[in-house]
Structure 1
């Protein structure tokens, strides 16, 4: 399969926007910011992932707002993470000097100032002498809110109706209209500090002297390294796996244990297209797979926190009668109304910009399997599920037994007509099968006769109607011959042997039609219309599923080559967006949790296959 031609922006527009992949992420497990390789923060929501943006130049270079901090002379730049942390360093190499900007959010834990939400930018000159320029240009509420700027006790305060921020700096800063700016020069060994704090609600403005910034830097390094030291992974791809784990941790909302799908909204799946969605929420599917990946690494606290989130906020207490809602807010709220922000042009002109997500109202039966599989793994590797949890799981499985054969929107959240998707039925089988495993292992009460009958009926339905004699492959949905990369989960979920002849034939068919240089398309929207205009790139999670399927099938050399190729598609920091475009560019929301958890799983299984 070949990709269609993207709607390319003009050269002038390309100069106004930093490409999606040219960013690193920092955060404090409450919110996140994206820092471009040019030193500009052009995405930041304060003080939680789903709050309105303060810096949103990634979605509108003119009206979105940004925090520029860079060398004021022509310079080459390089970006990396301080080893084994989420502290981002952007280096500037100029004719007369070398400097760097260290970006991080201090981890405050349960301190009394947990609501401060401090963002620190520490600038150092490490060689020679280097001039710098800074401009802080917030645009509150996605650029919809007017704000005032004032100088108060040596700080610059930005006031808007819903949020106030205070900027402290170790170098003089001037007010310039709605912005604050400065120019300064550092000699070798000199440093400067900028700190942006959320203020109000009992949090007062506070300076950030050089020594305090250095202390917070050290404390944040210790936090991230202490957390990462719990990892049990010692395989061949340790650096990439650990970067993925650190990324997943950054996407965790600490107050509730929720895990967001991505920290951004409306980054386009196709430049100039309309496939732009808000991912700053908790998909039950994504978060459950995240727990699986973190459990594999040994991070049981994160799994426990997510199970607590499910118990207290979502589906294990109130929604057991089904159908389950597919996504929730990071605080557990169920209403996520979708809205288009018509005043923003979108990344490289890709409109509309959306906040909220109407897919919240879709029926997606696969989430039952993802949820119960994660609880099965938690019961096995974490701690035993409670009796209340088991009672609720029983109700969920009973609902699946009655409703597994309904048509739904499927894993890809199509906005066309509903279908009897193979993947949805597969994960319903997983839901019943894993529940039966828990019951057998723990000796828990269960209607094993009814559950077993449903499990076997789903199996026979998939093997009968999900198999295409014409294609010699398992297909996307009943009544058609369309291939779909989601069937790669069949051996991964232990539904079929990875060496079963029918599966090996399916693997070959996927390779011939959907694979391009290790990259996989989800499906061909021309053959299977999804209700949206335009085309899309390859889906990175599917590429890692393909690696795992190859390794389980015994095609280890192919799997390793595909995996190594996929690593070259990551950005300079090892981060992945949702998709890869036709020329290798990253598209879609960034970074995406789903992709990083699939990388972890693929690395684990490939390591095991290689011995």
Structure 2
């Protein structure tokens, strides 16, 4: 099964990469027939991990085109923030969007569009791509977009914006800040003329998270919301805001295990009602990734085995319903939006990352 799923995952991701370089989040789910900087950067990272560097390169060139296409909007947002505009949900359309068509156009509709994490994640992913592929000339080629993204993040990082689940747009989220931190930190080595400025900004963001994003000895879902969220794993892997063995991170993982893990499936957060609050495969892969770095290889292999067991003929879904947090909400979501997304490229991508960590990729 491992060989089959590794190969299937790579082929599926390549098949659903547009000619523009964008990764379509889920080809069979109406609301996900678009491309996200965040999801796409993690998918590109997975493709780099398995040696598909051309695919990743095409994605980052697409990111460059997106930033270029919306350059004036980004510059206007920077100027507005510097003039004192604090944004907010009612003014979120003044900022760059989070999902785009494969041609880089904004997608209209009722959506949590103002999200900053994708803009940090694409810079982090670009640096990882260069390290894996050796395509060093990309920094020079994409320099205007890189510089503009950094300016945009520097101006906006303290603003409330939607989290990685596209919710809670009135709050500031440690995971979003970690993505911004990682993107800024990743560019230090490639922009020596800005290295000092970027290092100072990254450290300011890290200190902000450590001061305001911790309660009861662990990281919190949002500033002012002490709930636990499985995406908090990202603070250490891959964003490196803290180390895997940091005591606060360890306490956070223990809370995730206690509150959000059912069998080998990982829920997003305890009050999740989206499609009944199922178990997300990409989060199981993330926890398995953490286990590999924490010296818990058996648990990591068990996570990978469970993910493999969830594969259907069309691929890996976004979430499964082995254990629902809010079962009464499942049917209403199916009625309004159809069956849960399947296949989800991000699920396949994170499986590839975990498989790579566990040495399973070599068998693909």
- Residue 391, structure 1, aligned to residue 140, structure 2: no
Would the aligned equivalents of 1:316 and 1:389 in 2 still touch at CA under 8 Å? no
Give the secondary structure class of the aligned counterpart of 1:315. Answer: helix
> Matched residues in 1 for 2:33 and 2:69: separation?
23
Q: Is the alpha carbon distance of 1:431 and 1:518 closer, same or farther for their aligned partners in structure 2, counting shifts above 3 Å? A: same
2:21 to 257, 270, 282: 257
Whole-Å separation in 2 of the counterparts to 1:550 and 1:516: 16
Q: What are the superposed Cα offsets for residues 171-222 of structure 1, whole Å, 9 maximum, x if unpaired?
A: xxxxxxxxxxxxxxxxxxxxxxxxxxxxxxxxxxxxxxxxxxxxxxxxxxxx
Deviations 1:548-574 (A, max 9, x none): 011111111122122212221222x48
Matched, 1:580 2:316: no
2:224 to 472, 479, 489: 479
Residue from 159, 172, 179 that aligns with 1:427: 179
Gapped regions of structure 1 (runs ≥ 5) = 1-235, 267-277, 339-357, 527-531
1:599 correspondence with 2:351: yes
Whose Rg is larger? 1
- 3-state SS in 1 of match to 2:142: helix
Alignment-derived partner of residue 282 in structure 1: 35
Preserved contact between residue 139 and residue 190 of structure 2 (Cα < 8 Å): no
Q: Which residue does 1:372 correspond to in 2?
A: 123
**Partners of 2:29 and 2:296 in 1: CA distance:** 38
The aligned counterpart of 1:330 is 102
Within a 5 Å distance, the mapping from 1:116-265 to structure 2 comes to 237-254=2-19, 256-265=20-29
The one of the two structures with greater contact order (alpha-carbon pairs below 8 A, sep at least 6) is 2
Report how far residue 401 of structure 1 moved. 1.8
Shift of 1:504: 1.5
Cα contact 2:60–2:122 (8 A) shared by 1: no
- SS at structure 2 position matched to 1:445: helix
Q: Distance in 2 between matches of 1:318 and 1:483?
A: 35
The residue number in structure 1 matching 2:327 is none
Instruction: Work out the CA distance in 2 between the residues paired with 1:375 and 1:317.
Output: 19
Distance 1:561 1:607 in 2: 14
RMSD value, Cα: 2.4
**Whole-Å separation in 2 of the counterparts to 1:407 and 1:429:** 16
Q: Is the 8 A contact 1:578 1:590 kept in 2?
A: yes
C-alpha distance in 2 between matches for 1:544 and 1:499? 19
1:590 aligns to what SS in structure 2? coil
Q: Distance in 1 between matches of 2:302 and 2:36?
A: 31
Q: 1:534, CA displacement in angstroms? A: 6.9
Secondary structure in 2 matching 1:607: coil
C-alpha displacement at 1:583, in angstroms?
5.8
Q: Residue in 1 aligned with 2:289?
A: 548
Structure 1 stretches of 4+ moved >4 Å = 583-587
Structure that is richer in helix per residue: 2
Distance 2:219 2:345 in 1: 27
**Equivalent residue in structure 1 for 2:57, among 304, 307, 310:** 304
Give the direction of change, closer, same or farther, for the CA distance of 1:315–1:522 in structure 2 (3 Å limit): same
1:536 Cα offset (Å): 2.1
SS state of the match for residue 193, structure 2?
Answer: coil
TM superposition score normalised by structure 1: 0.50
Q: Cα 1:332–1:604, aligned 2, differ >3 Å: closer, same or farther?
A: same
Deviation of the 1:316 alpha carbon = 4.1
Question: What is the TM-score when the length of structure 2 is the normalising length?
Answer: 0.82
Which shifted more, 419-428 or 378-387? 378-387
- What SS is found at the alignment partner of 2:236? helix
Q: Which residue of 1 aligns with 2:154?
A: 401
Partner SS state of residue 372, structure 1: helix
Contact 1:567 1:574 in 2 (8 A): no
